[in-house]
Structure 1
Amino acid sequence: MTLERLAYASPWRHIAPSAKALFCSCAMAAAWIAATPVAAIGLALLLAVITLGGARTPWRAYLRVLTAPVGFLALSCVTMLVTVSPGFSAASAAASTSASASAFPTGSGLAWRIAPELLPQVLMTVSRAAALCTALLLLVLSTPLGDLLGLMRRLRVPPLLLDLMVLAYRMQAVLGEAWSDGLTAQRSRLGYGGRRQALRSMALLISCLAVQVWARASALQAAADARNATDELRFLTPQWAQGSRHVTVALGSGLLMIALVLAARIGGAA
Structure 2
Amino acid sequence: MNVSVDYYAHTNGLRNTSPAFKMALALITMIISLASPTPLIPFTVAVLMTLIILLLADIPPAYYLKFAAVPAGFGLLTLILMALFFGVNPVWSLMGIKVYSDGLNTGLLVFSRIMGGFTCLAFLALTTPLNEIFQELERLRVPRAFTEIALLMYRSVFIFLEEASVMYHAQDTRLGYSGIRNSYRSLGLLAGNLFIRSWLRGEALYRSMESRCYQENLPSMGKQTSTSPGELALLLLFDGLLVLGVILTSRLTIF
* TM-score between both structures, scaled by the size of structure 1: 0.75
> 2-side partners of 1:207 and 1:33: how far apart?
41
Q: Which of 15, 26, 29 is equivalent to 1:27?
A: 29
Indicate the structure (1 or 2) with the bigger Cα radius of gyration: 1
One of 159, 183, 199 as aligned partner of 1:174: 159
Aligned with 2:220: secondary structure? coil
Paired residue type of 2:230: V
1:79 shift after superposition: 4.4
Residue 135 of structure 1 is matched in structure 2 by 120
Displacement after TM superposition at 1:31 (Å): 2.2
Q: Cα gap change, 1:170/1:32 in structure 2, threshold over 3 Å: closer, same or farther? A: closer
Q: Does 1:186 align with 2:171?
A: yes
User: In the alignment, residue 249 of structure 1 is paired with which amino acid?
Assistant: G
Pairwise CA RMSD of aligned residues? 3.2
- Residues 120-148 of structure 1, C-alpha deviations (whole Å, 9 max, x = no match): 34433432332222111111111121221
Shift of 1:175: 1.6
Q: Percent of aligned positions with the same letter in both sequences? A: 27
Could you tell me how far apart the structure 2 residues matched to 1:264 and 1:255 are?
14
Q: Is the 8 A contact 1:26 1:255 kept in 2?
A: no
Cα 1:172–1:39 change in 2 (3 A) is: closer
Alpha carbons 1:11, 1:56 under 8 Å: kept? yes
1:239-258 alignment, distance < 5 Å:
239-240=224-225, 243-245=226-228, 248-258=229-239
Q: Quick check: 1:6–1:142 contact (8 Å CA) kept in 2?
A: yes
Distance 1:198 1:121 in 2: 39
Equivalent in the alignment of 1:202: 187
- Conserved in 2, the CA contact under 8 Å of 1:191 and 1:198? yes
- The more displaced of 221-230 and 210-219 is 221-230
Structure 2: 5+ residue stretches without partners: 93-97
TM-score norm. by structure 2 comes to 0.78
Higher RCO (CA < 8 A, seq sep 6+): 1
1:199-242 deviation per Cα after TM superposition (whole angstroms, max 9, x unaligned)? 333333333322211212233344556667453322223234xx
Contact 2:9–2:125 under 8 Å retained in 1: yes
The alignment of Structure 1 onto Structure 2 pairs a total of residues equal to 243
Aligned pair 1:261/2:246, yes or no? no
* Amino acid in the other structure paired with 2:136: L
Aligned to 2:143: 158
Cα separation, partners in 2 of 1:205 and 1:255, compared to 1, 3 Å: same
1:21–1:139: 8 Å Cα contact kept in structure 2? yes
- Give the Cα–Cα distance (whole angstroms) in 2 for the partners of residues 9 and 79 of structure 1: 40
Report Cα offsets for 1:69-125 as digits up to 9, x if no partner: 2122223334445449xxxxxxxxxxx6xx6489xxxxxxxxxx9753343344334
- Partner of residue 71 from structure 1, selected from 70, 73, 78: 73
Contact kept, 8 Å, 1:33 with 1:261, in 2: the verdict is no
Q: 2:130 aligns with which of 132, 145, 158?
A: 145
Change in Cα spacing, 1:229 to 1:268, as seen in structure 2 (3 Å) is closer
* Among candidates 18, 33, 50, match of residue 48 of structure 1: 50
Rounded Cα–Cα distance in structure 1 between residues aligned with 2:184 and 2:114: 37
Change in 2 beyond 3 A, CA 1:189/1:161: same
3-state DSSP class of the match of 2:185? helix
Q: 1:32–1:128: 8 Å Cα contact kept in structure 2?
A: yes
Question: SS in structure 2 opposite 1:13?
Answer: coil
Give the Cα–Cα distance (whole angstroms) in 1 for the partners of residues 246 and 179 of structure 2.
58
SS of 1:14's partner is coil
- Greater Cα offset, 248-257 or 13-22: 248-257
For structure 1, the 5+ residue unaligned runs are 85-95, 103-112
Compare 258-267 and 148-157 and name the one that shifted more.
258-267
Larger mean CA deviation between 115-124 and 161-170 belongs to 115-124
What residue identity is the alignment partner of 2:151?
V
Correspondence list, 1:82-93, <5 A: 82-83=85-86
Residue 12 of structure 1: CA displacement? 1.9
- Cα deviation for residue 171 of structure 1 reads 1.4
